[in-house]
Structure 1
């Protein structure tokens, strides 16, 4: 009896993680307004102390935001910015910044 419940829970978790990891770039653009103050419009920072987000890999950005929220990454400004973001918000932001022209080289 427990096996079907475990399988169902695993499927639900797997589907939710896949969705969270993908994100919606259009939704991310609407959520990225606050990021522009430090990281520049579209994540293209011109200030050395604020990293460029434009063109970074989606997975990297998503996990970095999660790490700031959990406290694994230490930065008081970022910790405050991400504390109310859901996993879906983070996935949307990551998708948006990953699509911007930036650091990543296209092959």
Structure 2
């Protein structure tokens, strides 16, 4: 019985990992990024808390965006505004947003 349970857990874990590799919907991501451009869409803008350059996210790597948003959601990355944004996102939202942002061709 222990082997069967271990096999079932391994199968579930592998299925869960494969499901998470599915990229999101670009059109949905476009709709869900409306608040992002308030900071990330302004060239040279600096955030007031703490004061630092806001990074360009359009054209960024999909996997990086998923990892960063997930870390903000889970509290692994610390920034008040981004943590509040991340906490409101589902995993599907994060995949959609990352799919849209990574599809943008960089101006550089």
State the TM-score, normalizing by the size of structure 2: 0.79
Q: CA RMSD in A?
A: 1.8
2 CA distance for matches of 1:71 and 1:34?
A: 20
2 CA distance for matches of 1:6 and 1:72?
A: 26
In structure 2, what is the equivalent of residue 37 of structure 1?
A: 38
Q: Which has the larger radius of gyration?
A: 2
Which residue, 36, 44, 47 being the options, matches 1:47? 44
Which residue, 99, 102, 106 being the options, matches 2:106? 102
Higher helix share: 1
Post-superposition shift, 1:103? 6.3
Gaps of 5+ in 1: none
Count of residue correspondences: 98
More off after superposition, 6-15 vs 72-81: 6-15
2 CA distance for matches of 1:47 and 1:31?
A: 23
1:6 matches 2:3: no
Deviating 4+ runs (over 4 angstroms):
none
More off after superposition, 81-90 vs 45-54: 45-54
State the TM-score, normalizing by the size of structure 1: 0.80
Gaps of 5+ in 2: 47-53
Question: Is contact 1:28–1:94 with CA below 8 Å preserved after alignment?
Answer: yes
2 CA distance for matches of 1:63 and 1:8?
A: 24
Post-superposition shift, 1:94? 0.7
